[in-house]
Amino acid sequence: MIELSVVIITLNEEARLGRCLESLPEGVEVVVLDSGSTDKTVEVARKRGARTATRPFDDYASQKNAAIALASRRWILSLDADEVLSPIFVQKVVQFVSSPEGNSTQDAFKVLRRLNFMGKVMFFGKTSDRPTRLFLRGSGKFYAKVHEQFKLDSGQVRRAPFGRGAHILHYSYENLTDYFDKFNRYTSRIAELRANNEATQPRRCSLAFAGHVSRPFFEFFSRYVLRFGFLDGYPGYCYALISSLYAFVKYAKLIERSQKS
């Protein structure tokens, strides 16, 4: 038995969950916490040996914390249904949790995640990140209702010592239609949260709002030129362009909310 639990939260992920589960190491515990899928998500999870539970969705951090509470093994790897482990990552994570360091450390680990966009693995233009995803059970929890992050109660957060080729591949968007569907949902949700913050922290929100008109231009230049997004070809151009609008749109929606109130 490998002392590793993989926890995943889902909602109508029938089309993507199988790909995620097939990439996991053999012998790990798999926990899928669903929030009321109307497709075959739960059936897909059970067919691949996952332990499933259902919980109404309130926010991302709460849902992920509920999922990790269901895990029973020493180490937890938190994934999303649209993420896939590279073969080298599988090999390295199994070696690590079974190693003397894995048996003694209290640290949590950031792992490399790369975006797959328009059928291409992206390398430039702020398309990679290192979220904290590997940690000991009971060592911390997720915070933030949107774009949740794991915070450790004690110890350090370090880069996972897995080496080259060990990464999570993020199939965040099936196509441009899917991108803009998510774009619309997330910007609306963030505008709602910002509106609530405006009532309690007006100065902080006003300062963040002040630069939103020029933000898209700087963001595109940063992603496409300064961070070499052009080296990813046409997908790099598209991603830099549409991502540059994200900050602008969330504040434009905040303005729209304030004008209606």
pLDDT digits (tens, 9 = 90+) for 214-232: 888 999 999 999 999 999 9
| C-alpha separations of 83 from 23, 114, 146, 187, 217 in Å | 9, 10, 18, 22, 30
The verdict on 204 and 151 lying in the same domain is: no
The verdict on 15 and 52 lying in the same domain is: yes
The verdict on 217 and 133 lying in the same domain is: no
The verdict on 38 and 90 lying in the same domain is: yes
Q: Is 224 helix (H, G, I), strand (E, B) or coil?
A: helix
Q: Is the pLDDT of residue 202 over 60?
A: no
Which pLDDT value is given to residue 163?
Answer: 94
- List the structure tokens of 232: 């990813």
What's the domain range around 90? 4-170
Q: What is the mean pLDDT of residues 113-138?
A: 96
Q: What is the mean pLDDT of residues 166-191?
A: 92
Q: What is the mean pLDDT of residues 158-165?
A: 95
The verdict on 75 and 143 lying in the same domain is: yes
Q: Quote the pTM value.
A: 0.87
Q: Is the pLDDT of residue 261 over 70?
A: no
Q: Which residue did the predictor score with more confidence, 250 or 58?
A: 58
